[in-house]
Amino acid sequence: MRGYIYLFVSILFEIAGSAFLKLSEGFTKLVPSLLLVLFYALSFVFIIFALKTVSLSVGYSMWAGLGTAGAALVGMFVFKEMLSAINVIGLFILITGVVIMNMDTKSEETEKAQST
């Protein structure tokens, strides 16, 4: 469970870092540039901790998928960017894939518990 908490925190830092990518305006703004480096560094630190207990295939796919979806939502709600219908369908597919990957993890944990 702790691994998934670290993973969630890592995803939040990745989303924050992505927002500051936009705010840094190509590394021309000092404070947003420093914050994006800090947030991405923290994201990597927490994903490293998460991967101690979460499998790489599930952890990385959740990190990348939910980070992408979160960045798209931040773009939409904070930066007033428009998402096309195709973009929304893609995000739905991405999140569905993350849910499916997690369902398989639950069955692996059940199998491990039954074999011990």
| Domain range summary for the chain, segments of one domain joined by + | 2-108
- pTM of the entire predicted model: 0.85
pLDDT-derived band at 105 (thresholds 50, 70, 90) equals low
pLDDT (tens digit per residue) in 12-64: 999 999 999 999 999 999 999 999 999 999 999 999 999 999 999 899 989 99
Structure tokens that stand for 27 in this block: 């590394």
DSSP string, 19-76: HHHHHTTTTTSHHHHHHHHHHHHHHHHHHHHHTTTS-HHHHHHHHHHHHHHHHHHHHH
Helix 56-77 / helix 85-115 crossing angle, nearest 10 deg: 150
